[in-house]
Amino acid sequence: DAGVIQSPRHEVTEMGQEVTLRCKPISGHDYLFWYRQTMMRGLELLIYFNNNVPIDDSGMPEDRFSAKMPNASFSTLKIQPSEPRDSAVYFCASRPDSGYNEQFFGPGTRLTVL
Amino acid sequence: DAKTTQPTSMDCAEGRAANLPCNHSTISGNEYVYWYRQIHSQGPQYIIHGLKNNETNEMASLIITEDRKSSTLILPHATLRDTAVYYCIVSDGGTSYGKLTFGQGTILTVHP
């Protein structure tokens, strides 16, 4: 298995633009997580899905952020409009419904908003 | 989830054991102790977890005190590749719960 796949790996955009981050979880995994990491705030959980259904989005910072999981093999995190303070590394992770919380993380997308 | 306290940084000589402590004095009976690490510029990686018994796998050992208020992650023979941020997390992460709350972790530096 290729592991969790994220694209793009790097994204540079200008303030006000729409940004879409993509994630392909490991096949067979029932949970998918989106995290954001910055120097100031560390690694924060934004939202997670179970069987494609959003379970907890309390970490989504504001309405400019939205996440979808249209099927078991694909998820997107969208920021519209983007702002410089959204600059961060965004990680996607997945895990099976195995009874414990071993999450498998992707390589991350480094987002820079100018 | 219970809060954890870890030292900000630690050093270890290559080939020696690295012992990383974690305090979780407010842990409740159904909460597990998880350890993850994050090597620079990579996503976090699961290491080990435990409830109340000591655990060992190919990466590390986890020692949990009898009262479960603290634990120690042991890397028996640290290598330079073990230089990373190590996160101790308390979570009731069973089949119904998914959340892991990452703190600031311990920066472990393994030097030659």
At B22-47, the pLDDT tens digits run: 999 999 888 899 999 999 989 999 99
**What DSSP element (H or E) covers A74?**
strand A74-79
- Chain A residues closer than 8 Å to B62 by CB: none
Contact (CB<8Å) A56/B99: yes
Comparing CA positions, the residue from B9, B25, B35, B14 lying closest to residue B102 is: B35
Q: What is the mean pLDDT of chain B?
A: 92
Look at strands B61-64 and B70-75 and give their pairing. Answer: antiparallel
Could you tell me the pLDDT band of residue B99, with boundaries at 50, 70 and 90? confident
Q: Can you list the residues of chain A whose pLDDT is less than 70?
A: 1, 99
Q: Is B107 on the interface with A (CB under 8 A)?
A: no
Distance CA A84, CA A82 (A): 7
Contact A56 B98 (CB under 8 A): yes
In chain B, the percentage of residues whose pLDDT exceeds 70 is 93
Encoding tokens for residue A19? 């940004």
Contact B45 A97 (CB under 8 A): no
Output the pLDDT for position A59.
92
For residue A3, the SS3 value is: coil
Strands B45-50 and B32-38: antiparallel
A23-53 CB burial, b ≥16 within 10 A, e <16: bbbbeebbbbbbbbbeeeebbebbbbbbeee
Q: Exposed, middle or buried by CB within 10 Å (0-12, 13-18, 19+), for B53?
A: exposed
Whether the CB of B93 is below 8 Å from some CB of chain A: the reply is: yes
Å from A12 to nearest chain B CA? 17
Query: Quick one: how far is CA A49 from the chain centroid?
Result: 11
Handedness of CA A14, A16, A18, A20 (dihedral sign): positive
Question: Which one of B95, B96, B106 makes the best mutation probe of the A interface by having the most chain A beta carbons within 10 Å?
Answer: B95
pLDDT tens-digit readout, B47-76: 999 999 899 999 999 999 999 999 999 999
Interchain pair B99, A93: CB under 8 A: no
Q: Is the pLDDT of residue B94 over 60?
A: no
Tokens of B6: 């870890």
